[in-house]
Copies of this chain bind each other. A is one copy, B any other.
Amino acid sequence: MILEPTLLTLATNRLRNQGGRMTTQRRLIIESLSECEDHPTAEDIFKRAHQQDNSLHLSTVYRTMRWLAEEGLVSPRWFDDEHHQERFDPVNPENIDHSHFRCRVCNQIFEFMNPGVETIKAAYQQQFGGHIESASLIFYGVCKTCEEK
């Protein structure tokens, strides 16, 4: 999961502009998020970050993720998990056409690129007005590997 410019840079600038502070905790959380390949929950991020700083508290991760989501720097997602946990996906300008497929047998989440969503977005805005800021397309079903078993 590589972002240019980095999420850390973006977040730092946002904080500067709004009188916020880039703390070591936020830096660590953002770094940990960026190292995750999949769609981590707050707890996934916490586990990884906690290895670097065992005084970090889970509620700080929740607060930071909420702030990032409000700033539009990550997109919250739900994948019909066992425990209904919120997951996070870093946002970059092009990723509106980045969609997901979740296999109900192996529970894996597959990511794929998809120009079609951009088309639907444009059509929606033309028809109904308003302004779309982000999109979440999730397919549910059975993946190829599980289907063959």
The chain A residues found within 8 Å of chain B, CB to CB, are 69, 75-76, 78, 80, 84, 86, 99, 101, 103-104, 110, 112, 114, 116-117, 119-121, 123-124, 127-144, 146-147
Contact = CB atoms under 8 A, between A and B. Distances in A.
Given A78-B78, A101-B130, A130-B101, A139 B124 contact: yes
Given A116-B116, A130-B103, A147-B130, A135 B124 contact: no
Given A117-B120, A120-B114, A141 B130 contact: yes
- What number of copies of this chain does the assembly contain? 2
Contacts of A120: 99, 114, 116-117, 137
B86 A76 contact: no
